[in-house]
Amino acid sequence: MTTKTTTILFDLDGTLIDTNELIIQSFLHTLQHYYPDQYKREDVIPFMGPTLVETFGGMNPDSVEEMIKTYRAFNISNHDSLVKEFEGVKETIIALKEKGYKIGIVTSKMSDVVMKGLKLTKLDPYFEIIVALDHVEKAKPDPGPVRMALEKLHSSPEEAIMVGDNHHDILGGKNAGVRTAAVAWSIKGREYLAKYNPDYMLENMTDLLAILEAEGQ
């Protein structure tokens, strides 16, 4: 007998809210400052997903904190003009709440910026818990963040699905023993995510409701 799905965990950036342009411009601004004229838009796409410490640490371990400070200053000051929600997100989140699902966010973003994005898109009232980068020792794909979310929601891995736009989300979910759903609107492309064998591929966030309905719930 299949365990009933009770819990949906979401990544934030690139999954619920469209921060792609904000992140790209934040990287380009930072890299132009430290490495003038060495990086173009296509060069920074692979940096989307890992933590800033991982990305900047791989470039220059001695300047990580300084580079992160430059990145975050630009990111926060340009946040509200460049961020919006993806199509189908709000109606899906509202429907999940109305149907009684437990929903949370598991992100590699700092909690203050998470709240900024949720409030801007008016999604903040709907999530019961948030597990952000400053709440954990290791980021996804380590299973710790997903496990922490499940613990906070009093849910087991068997009754949960992790939804995300990056391989960190898919692998983090798999490592924690939950089912996974990739979003085809990921800036890295559906083919890229398909390589990590998610249980589901969503063309629109509303597809999640159809999947849950098909499970007979």
Cβ distance 124 to 172 under 8 Å? no
Q: How many angstroms separate the CA atoms of 84 and 21, rounded? A: 10
Q: How many angstroms separate the CA atoms of 170 and 199, rounded? A: 9
Neighbours of 141 (CB within 10 A): 23
Q: How far is CA 131 from CA 47, 70, 105, 203, in A?
A: 21, 24, 6, 25
How far is C-alpha 200 from the chain's CA centre?
16
- Residues whose CB is less than 8 angstroms from the CB of residue 30 and which lie 6 or more positions away in sequence, other chains included: 56, 67, 70, 71, 74
Neighbours of 94 (CB within 10 A): 13
- Known catalytic membership, residue 80: no
| Catalytic, out of 11, 13, 165, 169 | 11
Q: Which residues are known to be catalytic? A: 11
